[in-house]
Amino acid sequence: MSTVILKLCTVPCTNAGRAIYQLGELPDDGVYKAMMHLQHQKNGTEFLPLNQHKIAAIALLTIDGEKVSSQIIGDAKSSESDLLTELATQLASADEVICWTGAEFDLPVIGYRFLKYGIACPAFWNKDSFEAESMETLNLSDVLSGFSPGAEASFDELVQLLGLASGKGLSALDVLEEYLGGNIQALRQACEIDVANIYRIYLKYQKTCGDISDAEYLELNHQFKQQLISSDLPHLKQFAAAS
C-alpha cells in the first residue's frame, strides 16, 4: 500500500484577483494587497477563498511498505502547471493521501488548480468513492479533533506540544513576502519541514490507534531521523538534529 503525505504552500492568484475584482493592469503586488484588503472588508480576515489561491510549492512524503521518501516537487523555477502535472503522476499510484487540513484546504485548492489548467487526475476525483481502487484520504486535523467544529488544534501549537522540531516551517515565514522577493527556495524548504512533521504526528496517531507498537513507533522514528541526517540537504539535516 502506497501512502502519500502532502503539504501545499500557496499565495494569492493574481489572475483570479484581476478577473474577480476587475483590477485590470494593476501590478502584481497591488493585486495582492487589493485582494486581501477586499477580503478583509468582506469577512474580517485576509484569508482568501480557496479558489483564489495559487500553489507555490508542493512537498510529498511517500510511504511504500517500509520505505519512506520525501521530496519537494519540481524546482524553484517550476511553473504551477508543472507542479500539478507531477503531482497528478504521483497521486495516480497512491492508495491513500494524508494531509493536515486536506478537506478544508489542500484538496479543494488542488481541485480548483487542476480545473484551471485542465490537468487530468482520475485518482484525485475518484477519491473516497466506493470503487475498489479508490484513493482514500485522511485529514489528521479532523480526526484528532473528533470531527468537532472549533476543536481543531493549531498545527504549530501541536508540533510544539508534542516536542517536535518547530520554527523552520511555513508559519515561521511571511510567505507572500518571500514569494515577492523571489525566495521560492525558502518556501520549498519550509514546506518540506512541515510535511516531515505531519509524518511524525501521523506516527503518533498510528501508535495511539494501536496500528503500530511502541517498538515499531520508535524504530520508524529512528529510521526517519537517520534518513534525514544522511540527506544532502542542509535544512533536513538541521531539522533532524533539532528533533
C-alpha distance from residue 170 to each of 7, 174, 190, 224 (Å): 10, 8, 5, 21
Consecutive 10-residue averages of pLDDT for the chain (243 residues): 95 97 93 96 96 98 92 97 98 95 95 98 84 81 93 93 82 89 95 96 98 97 93 89 82
Does this model's pTM top 0.85? yes
Domains of the chain, earliest start first: 2-234 (3.30.420.10)
pLDDT at 127: 83
d(CA 197, CA 222): 14
Task: Return the amino acid letter for 239.
Answer: F
d(CA 138, CA 153): 16
pLDDT at 170: 87
pLDDT at 131: 61
d(CA 153, CA 158): 7
Q: Which residues contact 80 (CB under 8 A, 6 or more apart)?
A: 54, 55, 56, 113, 117
pLDDT at 135: 86
Q: Which residues pair with 138 in a beta bridge?
A: 98
pLDDT at 243: 78
d(CA 98, CA 139): 6
pLDDT at 130: 60
